[in-house]
Amino acid sequence: MYALSRPLHYSRNSGEFLRMQRRMQGVKWRRWWNRANNEHYIKAKRKNPLMKEEFLEFSRAPSVPHFLRDNRIPQKVDLAYHMNVKQGDLVQVLYGRDSGRQGVVRKVMRKENCVLVHGMNMKKTFRVNTAVGETLCTTELPIHITNVAPVDPILKKPTRVKRRYTMHGECVRISKVSGCAMPDPVPIIREDREELLKRFENQSRVHKKYKGITSVNSPVVHSTEQQRTMAKRHYQMLARMAATPNFLTSGTTSYVEVGV
For residue 253, name the pLDDT band (cuts at 50, 70, 90): very low
State pTM to two decimals: 0.51
| Shared-domain flag, residues 176 and 88 | yes
In a domain, 15, yes or no: yes
Lowest mean pLDDT among 99-108, 205-214, 235-244: 205-214
| Shared-domain flag, residues 210 and 148 | no
pLDDT at 69: 73
pLDDT at 209: 64
pLDDT at 157: 93
In Å, what is the CA distance from 190 to each residue of 11, 141, 193? 90, 16, 9
pLDDT at 130: 62
In a domain, 224, yes or no: yes
Domain that holds residue 252: 206-260
Question: Which of 26-40, 208-222, 243-257 has the highest mean predicted lDDT (pLDDT)?
Answer: 26-40
Q: Considering 189, 222, 245, which residue would you say is the last residue of a domain?
A: 189
pLDDT at 205: 74
pLDDT above 70: percentage of residues in the chain: 59
pLDDT at 258 over 90: no
| Shared-domain flag, residues 183 and 228 | no
- 3-state SS string for 92-125: EECCCCCCCCEEEEEEEECCCCEEEECCCCEEEE
pLDDT at 230: 67
For residue 27, name the pLDDT band (cuts at 50, 70, 90): low
In a domain, 148, yes or no: yes
- Let me know if 103 is exposed, middle or buried by CB neighbors in 10 A (0-12, 13-18, 19+): buried
| Shared-domain flag, residues 112 and 180 | yes
| Shared-domain flag, residues 102 and 51 | no
Residue type, 58: F
Mean of the per-residue pLDDT values of the chain:
75
Mean pLDDT on 211-230: 55
| Shared-domain flag, residues 9 and 40 | yes
In a domain, 38, yes or no: yes
In a domain, 70, yes or no: no
| Shared-domain flag, residues 89 and 124 | yes
| Shared-domain flag, residues 102 and 174 | yes
Q: Considering 157, 189, 221, which residue would you say is the last residue of a domain?
A: 189
| Shared-domain flag, residues 172 and 85 | yes
Per the model's pLDDT, the better-predicted residue between 132 and 254 turns out to be 132
| Shared-domain flag, residues 224 and 146 | no
Counted domains in the chain: 3
In a domain, 72, yes or no: no
In a domain, 220, yes or no: yes
In Å, what is the CA distance from 56 to each residue of 39, 53, 151? 21, 9, 67
Q: What is the CATH number for 179?
A: 2.30.30.30
What is the per-residue pLDDT across 140-176, written as a single tens digit (0 to 9) for each? 889 999 999 999 999 999 999 999 998 888 999 999 9
Q: Considering 189, 222, 252, which residue would you say is the last residue of a domain?
A: 189
What CA–CA distance (Å, rounded) separates 109 from 135? 26
pLDDT at 52 over 50: yes
pLDDT above 90: percentage of residues in the chain: 28
pLDDT at 245 over 80: no
| Shared-domain flag, residues 96 and 132 | yes
In a domain, 200, yes or no: no
For residue 53, name the pLDDT band (cuts at 50, 70, 90): low
pLDDT at 32 over 50: yes
Q: Is 36 helix (H, G, I), strand (E, B) or coil?
A: helix
